[in-house]
Amino acid sequence: MAHVRRAYGLRRVGHGGTLDPAVTGVLPIAVGPATRLLPYLAGDKAYRGVVQLGLRTDSDDLQGAVLGQRPVPPLDGPALEKALAPFRGTILQVPPQVSAVHVDGERAYARARRGEASALEPRAVTIESLTLLGWDAATGRLELAVRCSAGTYIRALARDLGDALGCGGTLAELRRTEALGFDLSAAVPLESLATPPPLLDPLQALGHLPRQQLEAIQLQPWRCGQSLAAEAPHPQGQPLAVLDPDGNLAGIARADGAGWLLPRLVFAAAG
């Protein structure tokens, strides 16, 4: 974040979800007025990770202290697929002790660093796809591809999979391959900020939203915060990208379910 601020000479910078220190991959960053768009981006994320079976740590990854080791049972592809099946779809997941979850107004990781255990409540997350990419019986490591909802912890998935197999598990490697509508092909290395690359059009990240384009006569009322008549029916609460007559992003509206679009974010607002 600091590198981006310096590279573009902007103080207003926001990110689309932190990465653990040992995790690599996509980190969407918004600058200037585009930071206000972050809540409207697609929340799903995708990862490729390696799980080490037979090992439990206090952080559910290799950066933590070892809690125990057990032999890995004989496993093959079909046995692993059977073990993975219960983790697909909407499941309840307890976050890792070393996580950013708030406990009594404090982050769980801060309590963990003091040696305090937190009673973390399970929360519903959705694992849309969980694919076994490889299995190495000699090392007890399996590689997974995961597509999941925001708030899913892959470290917790590694822990719970190991528990289901009776030997324990911890996350050995992780790379985030997609986040908020961006994938690795759109990512740039941190070093490239020495010569800041061009910023992307925000509409690239809003392709999942329906759109409505303003006529010239509607532009000024929109900038003054007036509601718009919807051109098509939308469910109540549905966000839409509103475009100006030239096709540029003019803001975000939400449908009221009764045929009107209510301004929620207006760029170049007037009055």
Catalytic residue among 20, 60, 160, 244, which?
20
**Nearest by Cα to 159 from 90, 76, 79, 99:** 99
Asked if 244 is an active-site residue, the reply is no
CB proximity list for 203: less than 8 A, separation 6 or greater: 241, 243, 249
Q: Are strands 45-53 and 141-148 parallel, antiparallel or unpaired?
A: antiparallel
Q: What is the CA radius of gyration of the chain?
A: 22
Residue 202 neighbours by CB distance under 10 Å: 18
Any idea what the Cα angle at residue 254 is, between residues 252 and 256, rounded to 5°? Answer: 160
Pair of tokens at residue 73: 């049972």
**Annotated catalytic sites, by residue?**
20
